[in-house]
Amino acid sequence: MADTEQYRDSVSTIDKEGKRVWVFPKKPKGNLYRWRTAVSVFLLAILFGTPFVKINGQPLLLLNIIERKFVIFGMPFWPQDFYIFMVATITIVVFVVLFTVVFGRLWCGWACPQTIFMEMIFRKIEYLIEGNAAAQRKLNAAPMSAEKFFKKALKHGIFFALSVLLSNIFLAYIIGIEDLKELITSSPAEHLTGFLVMLLFSAAFYWVYAFFREQICTMVCPYGRLQGVLLDKKTIVVAYDFLRGEPRKKGKKTEGAGDCVDCNMCVDVCPTGIDIRNGTQLECVNCTACIDACNGVMDKVKRPRGLIRYDSYEGIQKGTKLSFSARIMGYSAILLILLTALILLFTNRSALDATVLRTPGVLFQELPDGRLSNLYNIKVVNKTFDEKPLELQMISPKGEIEIIGGELTAPPGSLCESSFFIKLDKKDVPFRVTPVVFVVKSGGIILEEIKSSFLGPARQKGR
Ligand code: SF4
Ligand code: SF4
């Protein structure tokens, strides 16, 4: 059977000669755009405010990959907590996959920093300075004049200043707000590396938002590239109701014509330059601008809204309404289980990690009072920001622990090492290798129970 469908084999913003097609989207307006603006303001407030928030004097979030120091919700995490990061990474991957299979690119349209920065900050400034799409097109085509120079210089000046601000915010998440303040208030010569990193970040942001723009979503973003394998006919996406809309016809509705009046408004507002009427495409970031545009048109021609809407291919084809199906419930349950497991791991994570090994190459010693002793090495990682005085206490069998040096204190956020003797009565050491249990305590609270072994003379048949 002949394939009558039309396919593109290149992205919408590159022409046949391989040159960039610059997109001049019309300023969107409508309910969803207003909601997206409100959500963006909320998310931007979180992004800009988080580095300033402290919990018990510690940052809410610090991701210092350079010094391998991480603080999440005021709790320090060390390389020893790597397993939590592994579980978190797996959860995020599973979350992203499951979420996308069900809800498509909801993330891209509503929460992705790239979309928020581009559409809600940089694009809005562009509209303010250069006007709407037609005025921008005209300005770009016009020869250089005082007006054009002023508008372009103003726009790019503001874009660069905003890029510097964004790079500083991202740096605050890496080095912390105090170090950032110091970096900003002192001479660049004193922090040349930090200053150069900040400049590099700023230049990258500026280049992305002034020039590269939607190409990030279509060519660079790995999540965007994954859509082809994650979406299926049941996935909820921004979709054109081809059953209702086709055959499209300009002007008054005639017999057999669909609801689409072929006004091209949905294409004009699209920031990635596509026509959603051709079906789900790689470039669509689900920004909902075409939904708003089409709803506006439908209001004018007095036809029901929702010719372009959130729906699945199957939903449009079979006319079924969007519902919380068993599939969505199942996926949501899996996500809930994973998130619960992650929260439990986070909250039950130990504040101190103790490792105890019997000192290699040393056998038991017989003490003058007749007891037996074994020497052990202890390493304790203190993951808190407080100094922790430690005690060791025998649980079984009854016996004595003598720390060499008398005291054991774990300094904040570091590793302490020491050695200690376990002293047991001979009657409690019936085997060559006797199991022993003791606890590591701090402030009277048991931090960890340690199971180890005690070497004795082979007086009885041992293990
Ligand atoms: S905005 Fe609506 S009516 Fe206009 S072309 Fe697009 S789908 Fe058709
Ligand atoms: S097709 Fe619609 S939802 Fe997709 S990017 Fe374009 S305007 Fe946004």
Q: Starting at the earlier edge strand, list the strands of the sheet with 388-396.
A: 408-410, 388-396, 433-442, 445-455
275 plus 421 within the same structural domain: no
Looking at the structure, do residues 67 and 145 belong to the same domain, yes or no? yes
Virtual CA dihedral for 190, 192, 195, 200, nearest 10 degrees? Answer: 180
Report the run of H or E that residue 141 belongs to, with start and end: helix 133-141
Answer yes or no: is 255 within a domain. Answer: yes
pLDDT-above-90 percentage for the chain: 52
Q: pTM, whole model, 2 decimals?
A: 0.80
pLDDT classification of 2: cutoffs 50, 70, 90: very low
Nearest CA to ligand 2 atom 4: 284
**C-alpha–C-alpha distance, residues 198 and 205, integer Å:** 11
* Whole-number Å distance between alpha carbons of 463 and 457: 12
Is 50 exceeded by the pLDDT of residue 4? Answer: no
Kindly identify the ligand whose nearest atom is closest to the C-alpha of 295. 1
**Probe target for ligand 2 pocket from 288, 308, 309, with the most ligand atoms within 8 Å of CB:** 288
Output the residue whose Cα is nearest ligand 1's atom 2.
294
Q: Is the pLDDT of residue 128 over 80?
A: yes
Pocket test for ligand 1, best of 243, 246, 262, 278 (most atoms within 8 A of CB): 262
Whose CA is closest to atom 8 on ligand 2? 287
Do 376 and 297 belong together in one domain?
Answer: no
Residue 448: inside a domain:
yes
pLDDT over 80 (residue 266): yes
CA distance 418 to 446: 19
Question: Within a domain: residue 2?
Answer: no
Ligand 1 atom nearest 240 alpha carbon: 7
Residues 239 and 316: beta-carbon distance below 8 Å:
yes
Quote the tokens at residue 227.
């859509």
- Give the position, in ligand 2's atom list, of the atom nearest the Cα of 289: 7
Q: What is the CATH number of the domain that holds 387?
A: 2.60.40.10
Least confident of 8-12, 172-176, 186-190, 339-343: 8-12
Say how far apart CA 168 and CA 28 lie, in whole Å: 30
Q: Quick one: 243 and 340 in the same domain? A: yes
**Residue-averaged pLDDT of the chain:** 88
Q: Given 349, 374, 406, which residue is the final one in a domain?
A: 349
Query: Are residues 122 and 265 located together in one domain of the fold?
Result: yes
Written as six digits, the tokens of 29 are 């307006």
Residue 402 lies in a domain: yes
Q: Which two tokens stand for residue 322?
A: 């969007």
Q: Which pLDDT score, from 0 to 100, does residue 6 have? A: 58
